[in-house]
Structure 1
Amino acid sequence: MQKAYLSSLLVLSSSVFGVTFDTITLDKMLRPPVSGTRIEYSTLYPMVVTEHRKNGVLLTILDIKTVDQMLDEWANEKLKKHWIKKVKEAVGPAARGTGGLIPVIEIPVKFPRPIAGIFGEGGRLEIGGSQSITFGGSKNYTVEAVADPNVRQTWFPDLKMEQHLRVNVKGTVGEKLSVDVEHDSKAQSDIKNRIRLAYTGREDEIVQKVEAGDISLSLPSTQYSSVSGSHKGLFGIKTFSQVGPLNITTIASKEQGEASSEIYKGYGGRVESLAVEDYRYLQRRFYWMGEEEEIVDVEVFREVKNPTEGASYIRANTWIDPTDTSYYSELSYEAYFEQLERGEDYIFNPPNWIELAHQVGEAQALAVYYKTESGTEMGDTASSPLQLKLIKPDDRKPWHYIDDTTRVVHPTWEYEMKNFYNLGSENIIDTSISVTIWKKVPGASDTEVDENSNKPFLQLFGLDLNGDGRVDERWVQRSRYLTFPSPQPFFYLPSGERLPDPDSAIYYETNFNQITHKYYIVIEYQTSQPRISLPRMNIIEESEAVKVGEE
């Protein structure tokens, strides 16, 4: 393999684009491109073999080309570099700096002396933008088996063309007048396109600046006027003048905008629907205080587990009946309590029950002091420790075992009201609430009618006294809860009679996974919209008007 042989084999005196391929040029053309690589020339065939060797050992063959291929590639590369060089020289550095096809336009026109005195001489404009044209088409062809014989079909597609033009023009006319124009053919409204002219005077001139077209106004607060603020979207003329120490701003404009209106109906909220099993009543929130007489004063206390040292907690003894401490004395309880704030932590509902703002803990005791209308006091808040009536023990168990074989319902178990169901949302429109009570029937479809009385369960449970198929408004508490007249609605009817097929286990079992419930409630309603989002952007300030009703 000898380089000299290749030199004698080729007619190196040939010239391509003014370059003679002598031995020196060939060396440059075949300079190894990779470290550790060398190029060998075959003495048998006019081929150039590029090998990669290390320490004289052949690692791989990088490339094999004929001499003609190699010369063509090299010549094309030289031509490309030569053409780019000539183009750069022809365009010049000023045009290359703008980066666009349209160069900066210098305005060499000399204005007449009166005009030149106002605007100055010369000027330049920079024009930029883009123009895109998109063609597209589609064609649906129906096979002859189902084609309409009266319609002639063609394979030529339906063509559509879409254009998008964006133009920006910035520059100066003379020394004092500047131009700023922006146009977009896809702008959502005309106010998105901008036209602005600005005249800037010299420091010693009265007229300092004049703006025309799309302008804005910003007014600061002054000693004599409290009006301030910023206004955009104006179209007109604004001037700034200076006469001695006096600065004058003059504006003549109109506010641009597009009128639009939207109609919203009061029932425009979402429609909600949920199914609630009969055992999913709200737990540990609502308590009857075990008093038939009307209560006129009440204080509520909640147990504090692991009280912090130094905190002002209250030590109290709790009893089933503070007026008779021998009554279930084994259930008396002594602990630290905190007094709850009425109106914030709980609500007292006359005549004799309370609603907690938050669910009391499973292992927290709840106790009260109250005074009835006749003057009977249940508890003593003046003693130390306090003497209170126990409403909920710290171990919430439905049964109390008197001995190993005898059990009774815990005397406080019935204090918890089990007839409140959460509607699952707020801002509910009261008149939109629809309630249906269903009973599961094994092997058949669920039913909403009691088979014994042939009444809908909604009416049987006392929620629909009018018989119109809708729940009476009195049983919807503050648009948040559905309340039943009976404290245990799926066990006892409002009359006190047992439900023909009761589901009493849900009231005396704390682990609902061990029972199979029989009833469920389907609730549907609409929610109102506290806020309305307008489907517009850049709304002009104070341009909105809201009308209610038929106005």
Structure 2
Amino acid sequence: MFSQTNQQTSLHYPIPASQPQNLQEASQPVMADLKSPENVRTLIEYDVESGDYVMSTYVGETRISTPLSISQKEYADYWLQQSNAQFFKKKNQIDYSKKKDEFSLTDMQFDLGAAEKIFGPGGVQLRTQGAVEISFGVKNNIVENPALSERARNRTYFDFDQSIQLSVNGKVGDKINVNMNYDTEASFDYDAKAIKLRYAGKEDEIIKSLEAGNVSMPVKNTLISGGTSLFGAKTELQFGKLNVAAVISQQNAQTTSASMEGGTQTTRFEISVDAYDENRHFFLSQYFRDNYDQWMSKLPYISSGIVINKIEVWVTNKRARMDNARHIIAFADMAEPQRIANNHWKADASQPYPSNQANSLYAEMLAQYAAARQIGEATAVLSPLEDYGMQIGEDYERLESARLLLPSEYSLNKSLGYISLNQALNPDEVLAVAFEYTKNGKVYQVGEFSTDGVESPQALFVKLLKGTNLEPASPTWDLMMKNVYALGTYNMPKEDFRLNITYQNDTVGTTLNYLTESRLKNQILLRVFRLDRLNSQNEAYPDGLFDYVEGYTAQSSHGRIIFPVVEPFGSYLRTQMADDALAERYVFQELYDSTLTVVKQLTDKNKFRLDGEYRADIAAEISLGAMNVARGSVGVTAGGRLLTENV
């Protein structure tokens, strides 16, 4: 065995002695050395007679060194030195192994340091799972249709699609858990996006749990119903034997109930007045809107004297269907006899009803702007009209290959002059019409039909009902009906149908079906809004029930309620109250003068509700009348007993 001594050559890293002669050699720190064989070991034994400790080196069972005797104090110092050396050696190995671990976005871990005293041990752990798929391409469609222009035959557009299924699970110490999910392919909205942060307290802490994000409030008794599909914060506190659970949240769902008895299902509904059927129902002209209230005032008799004989409805061709497709140029002021948005067009006093001759627009198009029928030149040809304030998207629309709707894709009220689309329009879609009607035995036409002799690919001049930029200042804003409400059902029966209109009265703290002041005091709101003028025989005697007049106040096939006035909670209510100062408390004029985005923020005005119920025969299955039903949110009772799902 060899070791460095003072008499030998000095080394930068001294080699420790395998057979130490004194405690100093045994305690000498090892800077660099080879590992001793496994059968070489140093033992320290206690000598009972002397009270000292004996240090010896063995190879196997053979002692190879002279025993070294050390005192109890020297042993304690030696043991402390060796323990510290082993501790820092292990810690260095742990730190070194952590540095060798590769950084991974799917499994990240961080130390909390001093924050462990707050959140507990474990550090920060973040684990990500899922897949992200993004596809991007360019599509080119060539349709060899001689009826189309050269430009319309060749269409090139970008195709972008993404598919994301991502799950993130995180922990902060042993008290906080974070769960996030995002799935673009989810079947239901509540599965698409979810986030939840949860803090779990210890047994002796006041805060037992604190949750934020997607939370729920289950209640174990039948007197109070809990809440699901909640987004907000929830906490559970404990004060001795008192447990407190509190939730502050927004409910992203609507609660409905249905009852069955004797083979009949009763469905209850409640609708806020700001939930009108948007972008689906449109007047064909400002004339029809202006006279709607008057014509509906004598239900079930309609006093319009109008019968619409023929109509063509054109929409944006987003599906690229080229059958029954035509280029169109649609004008908001076309055929308007009175409410003309642009002063450039002059009304003809001899034409009081909507027609192509009601103002100068159509005649001027034929005389000065006929070249606009070439759809590719339309923008340039119509550009001089910009000097008169004509703007594309509001005053007129130029639409290539517009799609002609089939009669089965919409319904038409022939005497009141409005259409109801089966599918609501997107905000950027265009709606235009051409129609012919009879009034007092005379035939009038608005716009041009595809059969009028204007050959394709020349564009048709038609009436614009909705442009790509529909806002309150748009000339066509009032053409969109805001007095139609959908109950979300089909084949709504007239028998046993009940409808109520209520108002949230903050003074009494509840909803009432009447107002407590003004000249309308104590009149039921159904009667105030002309929905209770008739009895069950359609005679002019109010009976306190909703006047179910098919096609006028109700559409059974689509489950819709239609008010007999265009602005029931706006200008009409103000007129009925006859007191502007008092009307300011109740009238919700913003419902008709603002977009729904703005309207939904006016909670102090949004106090009217539509509620009621209807009955229908059922088979073995019970319709909930809803989509995106949250798991665990359906409760079924029979004879007062709560049933268990899947049992």
Q: Report the TM-score range of the alignment, normalised by the length of the smaller protein.
A: 0.3 to 0.5
Larger radius of gyration: 1
* TM-score normalized by the length of structure 2: 0.37
**Structure 1 length normalisation: TM-score?**
0.43
More helix by share: 2
Q: Larger relative contact order (C-alpha < 8 A, sep ≥ 6)?
A: 2
